[in-house]
Amino acid sequence: MDTQTVLRYSRRSLWLRALLVPLTAVIAACGGLGRRAEQQQAAVAQETEKVQPTAAPAPAAQSGEQKQGTTASAATTELPATPACEDDDDPTPPQTAGPFYTPNTPLRTSLLEPGLGGTRLLLSGQVLSTKCTPIAGALLDFWHTDDAGDYDNEGYTFRGHQFADAAGRFTLETIVPGIYPGRTRHIHVRVQAPNQPILTTQLYFPGESGNQGDGIFDPVLLLELADAANGKEAQFTFVLDVP
Ligand SMILES: [Fe+2]
């Protein structure tokens, strides 16, 4: 091989390398993006998995008074049902926890921390039984994404638990969460009456374009949302199917 030929081959190999290096980088980047999309798809599948509600308890045997009432109502006008809990007496339906729950969250009623962006949200409400009795000391464990729609899976940002007061009331100071890809805007929560089973569910925001397309969105779980002086205010009443 003469000198000219060697130079020609060397130049060609340099050209090939110059082409191959960026091509490899692009393929690697696409692979990374593909993996992230797959992880998000898997997370959404876990979050939107349907949870079967627990079976409704068998109706209690009718008392003598109820039987009498039934007989009487057949002959006379039926009395309207006694209003209870302002229609909040149906148990709050369960929903999946999704893949991003972290146990042992800090005890706190404010998830706000310096440097965290987002619209402030003051979420308050009450925990009741199906008999409309306030559940004092009920545990509430909240978690949601940051303003950009990302969960903190290494620390406890936007994660925290608290206990309802003697009237079953709670208040949480946080932000309006961002939107996790593939889901509509939501807040995760676990609620538990002392020594009773845990209710795991999610809360939703009214007026969100993503609500109707979300696999498990349930209008029963919509927050009552309003504008506030420094952000938003929301209310929700949890009803637990406990004795
Ligand atoms: Fe989620």
Our count of domains for the chain comes to 2
**Does any domain span residue 55?**
no
180 C-alpha to center of ligand 1: Å?
Answer: 7
pLDDT in tens, the chain (243 residues): 444 444 444 444 444 444 444 433 333 333 344 667 777 788 888 888 777 544 333 333 333 223 333 333 344 556 655 545 665 578 999 999 999 999 999 999 999 999 999 999 999 999 999 999 999 999 999 999 999 999 999 999 999 999 999 999 999 999 999 999 999 999 999 999 999 999 999 999 999 999 999 999 999 999 999 999 999 999 999 999 998
Contacts of 124 (CB under 8 A, 6+ apart): 169, 170, 171, 172, 233, 234, 235
**Does any domain span residue 74?**
no
Residues 30 and 89 occupy one common structural domain:
no
In angstroms, rounded to a whole number, what is the distance separating the alpha carbons of residues 148 and 178? 5
Q: What is the pTM of this model?
A: 0.73
Residues 99 and 186 occupy one common structural domain:
yes
126 C-alpha to center of ligand 1: Å?
Answer: 22
Residues 14 and 102 occupy one common structural domain:
no
Helix spans in 2-98 (H): 3-47, 64-75
Q: Which domain covers residue 202, as residue numbers?
A: 85-240
159 C-alpha to center of ligand 1: Å?
Answer: 12
In angstroms, rounded to a whole number, what is the distance separating the alpha carbons of residues 241 and 90? 8
